[in-house]
């Protein structure tokens, strides 16, 4: 059974930092591209960042580029999202996702294979 378990969310003041983790099990992690998405109240889920299965290629939404960094450790079956210079508009539930194809994650496709349960990030002003 595949599981993606996010952690590291919480409450932080604007300008602060958080690091999210997503631990994967039940899949060949190094064969999957990984992504982070977020959903704020009343809004649709949106793409945040993605990383290729080897980790050599990373992609970011324009709203987070330069502030967020995605990374992975294939030995630990874990993907990370380092979030710096957080803003109130970053407040959302953050989800990790896994799919064999990076382009499926970049399309924010409903065909993405696996999703985590989400972790809440709240940024106060």
If you write DSSP's letter for every residue of 21-51 in order, what string do you get?
EEEEESS-GGGSEEEEEEE-TTS--EEEEEE
5-52 tens-digit pLDDT = 999 999 999 999 999 999 999 999 999 999 999 999 999 999 999 999
Only one residue has tokens 């993605």, namely: 50
**Class of residue 16 by CB neighbours under 10 A (exposed 0-12, middle 13-18, buried 19+):** middle
pLDDT at residue 98 greater than cutoff 90: yes
Least confident of 21-30, 57-66, 69-78, 102-111: 102-111
> Given pLDDT bands bounded at 50, 70 and 90, which one contains residue 103?
very high
What pLDDT sits at residue 39?
97
pLDDT band for position 108 (cuts 50, 70, 90): confident
Running DSSP on this structure, what letter comes out for residue 78? E
């Amino acid at each position: 059974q595949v599981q993606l378990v996010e952690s590291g969310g919480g409450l932080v003041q604007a300008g602060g930092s958080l690091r999210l983790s997503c631990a994967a099990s039940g899949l060949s992690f190094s064969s999957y591209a990984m992504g982070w998405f977020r959903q704020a109240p009343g809004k649709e889920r949106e793409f945040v960042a993605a990383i290729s299965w080897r980790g050599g290629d990373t992609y970011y939404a324009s709203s987070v580029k330069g502030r967020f960094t995605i990374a992975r450790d294939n030995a630990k079956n874990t993907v990370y999202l380092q979030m710096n210079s957080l803003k109130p508009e970053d407040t959302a539930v953050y989800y990790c996702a896994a799919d064999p194809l990076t382009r499926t994650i970049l399309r924010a496709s409903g065909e993405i294979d696996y999703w985590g349960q989400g972790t809440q990030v709240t940024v106060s002003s």
